[in-house]
């Protein structure tokens, strides 16, 4: 039988995953990347001796990475070295109010008990439920393509779904166990990765707490891009042909079938199947003839997007004090500006922010005696950003950072680069400049997400953070697997 040719658009986690799974199942695969290096939002850049991860910086759910590589009889350690962080991260509630989150579970429970007597016992119950959700959710539910309600129709699964707390908010769920506002904010923090406040995220996602507390926070030596390097190496070992600076301008469709893709250079590449790992909205509204679009512009405009971000990549010419690898700044109340982070089209007055200093753990990402500092401010999508506004927020964040850590930093910054909405649009065609895809609200879960297959084109599929299972690095790896499995199923006779 003639080997089928699959064209995958985009070399982020989902695109690389899909391409490699297909190549390992006897497909000829060409992976097309718009930019000059792989990784999508997980690209890296180097300057003045500093190595910066451009996007993801948290390595959670190590079992998902192990599962991915195991499909090819490989292990993560074949491609990169992992370090477990201890403390996992710091949470800063104020200048003299900081929690260092220990990697050891007993130490973590003791810390909670000091804050709220009885919290350790409550944590045991909370984590037992979260573990169950994690096992069912991550190892079963998220691996379903969510194309039919019948996928979820078994009695056993119906019972599982009822135990998954999908109709209760994370905010309500957490408050059943804990009363301390400090602990509540700590327990609600992981759902920020899912793109909404705890009031709007189903309690199903307490599974994220299990990932955080039980499975730990890790770091691949050399940076998160080492995962991408490993995946690229594996893809090429499997036979995937990767082309960079190869932007797709159109998916050419004839009689309901994608026949080829046309690049911006005019070159055409024939295909038996096309998998789009690029921004779903961009593909759906701009790369296919409108009569073949899955969704209208009105549909997309009504989606609840996860936040965008304002990022600063800083090289500092001294070692910094009072900073861990991961640092979460909750020193401002969440309430007054929570909506601004997620929905309101305005810049917040007192934003939350996150500081990552990977050079605390890894001396290879900064010159000797210097520090690699990454700052992230979550912001509503679709904001107009300018250098003036970016500088205003840079000053605001640095004021707080310097005050809380008790040191001068700005005068020691020797390299600085910012990145925000307009950059996400330019580099990734990101809808409304989003950074993390669609928020995992109840109405945007499983079958209620944009479909992984085009409804009008027999051989056009989608993967990545705007379709199932959702935003984040582990879900993107799974998304590539799920779509590849569907393609293989439909092309096996």
pLDDT attached to residue 110: 98
pLDDT in tens, 165-207: 888 999 999 999 999 999 999 999 998 778 788 998 999 999 9
Residues 193 and 190: their CA atoms lie apart, in Å, by: 6
Structure tokens at 192: 């920020």
CA distance 185 to 335: 11
Closest CA to 98 of 311, 257, 323: 323
What mean pLDDT is predicted for residues 201-227? 97
pLDDT digits (tens, 9 = 90+) for 286-339: 999 999 999 999 999 999 998 899 999 999 999 999 999 999 999 987 554 454
Half-sphere exposure of 85 (CA within 13 A, CB side): 30
Q: Which pLDDT score is estimated for 324?
A: 98
**Minimal CA–CA distance to 317: which of 370, 279, 273, 392?**
370
The average pLDDT across 80-104 equals: 97
Cα radius of gyration (the chain): 22
Q: List residues bridging with 232 in a β-sheet.
A: none
As a whole number, the mean pLDDT across the chain is: 94
Decide which of 439 and 112 is more confident.
112
- The single-letter DSSP state of residue 279 is -
Contact 48, 461 (CB under 8 A): no
- ∠ CA 464-466-470 to the nearest 5 degrees? 75
Q: Report the relative pairing of strands 353-356 and 371-379 from DSSP bridges.
A: antiparallel
pLDDT of residue 347: 85
362 near 331, Cβ under 8 Å? Answer: no
More confident residue, 156 or 234: 234
**Residue 89: which pLDDT band, with cuts at 50, 70 and 90?**
very high
In eight-state DSSP terms, residue 97 is E
The pLDDT value given to residue 336: 45
pLDDT the model gives residue 163: 78
Which among 252, 221, 212, 269 is positioned nearest to 472, based on CA atoms? 212
Enumerate domains of the chain plus CATH numbers.
5-81+222-302+441-490 (3.50.50.60), 105-215 (1.10.405), 304-428 (3.30.519)
Q: Which of 38-47, 55-64, 155-164, 460-469 is predicted with the least confidence, judged by mean pLDDT?
A: 155-164
Tokens of 471: 């935003």
pLDDT at 309: 95
Q: Are 467 and 453 in contact (CB under 8 A)?
A: no
Nearest to 56 by CA among 483, 474, 479: 474
pLDDT of residue 493: 62
């Amino acid at each position: 039988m003639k080997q089928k040719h699959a064209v995958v658009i985009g070399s982020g986690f989902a695109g690389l995953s899909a391409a490699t799974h297909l190549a390992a199942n006897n497909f000829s695969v060409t992976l097309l990347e718009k930019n000059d290096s792989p990784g999508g939002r997980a690209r890296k850049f180097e300057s003045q001796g500093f190595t910066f991860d451009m996007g993801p910086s948290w390595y959670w759910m190590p079992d998902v990475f192990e599962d991915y590589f195991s499909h090819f009889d490989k292990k993560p350690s074949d491609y990169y070295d992992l370090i477990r962080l201890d403390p996992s991260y710091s949470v800063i509630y104020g200048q003299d109010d900081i929690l260092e989150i220990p990697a050891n579970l007993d130490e973590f429970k003791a810390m909670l008990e000091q804050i709220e007597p009885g919290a350790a016992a409550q944590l045991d119950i909370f984590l037992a439920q979260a573990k169950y959700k994690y096992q069912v959710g991550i190892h079963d539910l998220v691996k379903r393509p969510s194309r039919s309600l019948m996928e979820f129709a078994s009695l056993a699964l119906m019972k599982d779904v009822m135990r998954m707390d999908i109709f209760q908010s994370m905010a309500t769920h957490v408050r059943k166990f804990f009363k301390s506002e400090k602990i509540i904010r700590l327990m609600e923090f992981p759902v920020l990765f899912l793109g909404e406040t705890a009031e709007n995220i189903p309690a199903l996602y307490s599974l994220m707490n299990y990932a955080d507390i039980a499975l730990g926070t890790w770091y691949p030596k050399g940076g998160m891009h080492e995962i991408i390097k490993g995946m690229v190496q594996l893809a090429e070992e499997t036979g995937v042909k990767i082309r960079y600076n190869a932007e797709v301008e159109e998916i050419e469709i004839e009689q309901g079938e994608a026949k080829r893709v046309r690049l911006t250079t005019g070159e055409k590449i024939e295909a038996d199947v096309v998998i789009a790992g690029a921004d779903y909205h961009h593909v759906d509204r701009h790369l296919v003839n409108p009569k073949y679009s899955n969704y209208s512009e009105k549909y997309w405009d009504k989606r609840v997007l996860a936040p965008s971000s304002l990022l600063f990549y800083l090289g500092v010419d001294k070692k910094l004090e009072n900073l861990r690898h991961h640092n979460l700044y909750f020193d401002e109340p969440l309430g007054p500006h929570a909506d601004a982070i997620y929905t309101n089209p305005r810049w917040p007055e007192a934003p939350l922010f996150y500081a990552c200093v990977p050079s605390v753990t890894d001396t290879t990402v900064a010159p000797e005696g210097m520090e690699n500092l990454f700052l992230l401010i979550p912001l509503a999508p679709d904001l107009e950003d300018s250098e003036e506004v970016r500088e205003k927020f840079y000053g605001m964040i640095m004021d707080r950072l310097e005050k809380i850590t008790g040191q001068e930093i700005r005068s020691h910054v020797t390299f600085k680069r910012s990145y925000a909405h307009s950059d996400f649009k330019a580099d990734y065609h990101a809808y409304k400049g989003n950074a993390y895809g669609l928020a995992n609200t109840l109405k945007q879960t499983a079958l209620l997400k944009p479909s992984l297959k085009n409804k009008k084109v027999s051989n056009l599929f989608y993967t990545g953070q705007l379709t199932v299972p959702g935003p984040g690095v582990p879900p993107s790896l799974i998304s590539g697997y799920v779509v590849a499995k569907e393609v293989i199923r439909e092309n096996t006779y």
